[in-house]
Every structure is written in C-alpha cells, then in structure tokens.
Structure 1
C-alpha cells in the first residue's frame, strides 16, 4: 500500500500541474478522460518503480 501511495501522489501532482493549462477549456468528463487515458499511465510507469525502490531502500536501512 505504501508503494501505491508514494507512486500515486507524484502522478496526480504532475497530472494536475502539467495538464491543467491544456485541459482548462475542456468539460470535466473530457478532461478526466484525457488525464486518465494519456497522462496517468505514462507517469505511473516512472513513479511506481521509483516508489518501490524507495521503500526497499528504506527497509534495508531499518534492518
């Protein structure tokens, strides 16, 4: 669960900050569709492995 939370928060932050100017004129359902289909999978490819690496690194430090 920790990896999911650590991976999801940066994804949502990037989506809201980077796509905000591009999607502010779209309707809400269309904006959500664009963000979910295009941007979220791309950022999760990067953020979830980084979050997993961070959690495993913290576990090694605590042992």
Structure 2
C-alpha cells in the first residue's frame, strides 16, 4: 500500500483570486437596449425596449453592469 500524497497536494498552493481583467470582457460597443432587456431576463417587447432605452439614457453602461456579475 502506497503512502504517497495525491498529485494535487504536491502542486504549489495558489489561493489568489483571478484578476477582474481576466474575468470580465468589455463589449466592443455601447450596450444596446436589447442587451439590457436580455440581461434583465425579460422578453423583448416594445415596453421593455422603451424601459431599456430610458435606463441606458440615464445610467449608460452602469445600467448593464448592475445586472451582470
């Protein structure tokens, strides 16, 4: 019977968090009303598009950032 440690325990411990720049990708353009509606989990309708347009006009990119992790 072997008493060696599993291979995973021989690797150096790396408990550091992944930097945000590797976790998040910025969109190539400003978010569209459709992006905001879909991120909110709602269906795309004239009413939700109007809501998204108002949110984007008042909050800009932050409107989408608030919805996404």
Q: TM-score, normalised by structure 2?
A: 0.31
Whose relative contact order is higher, 1 or 2, with alpha carbons under 8 Å and at least 6 apart?
A: 1
Q: TM-score, normalised by structure 1?
A: 0.33
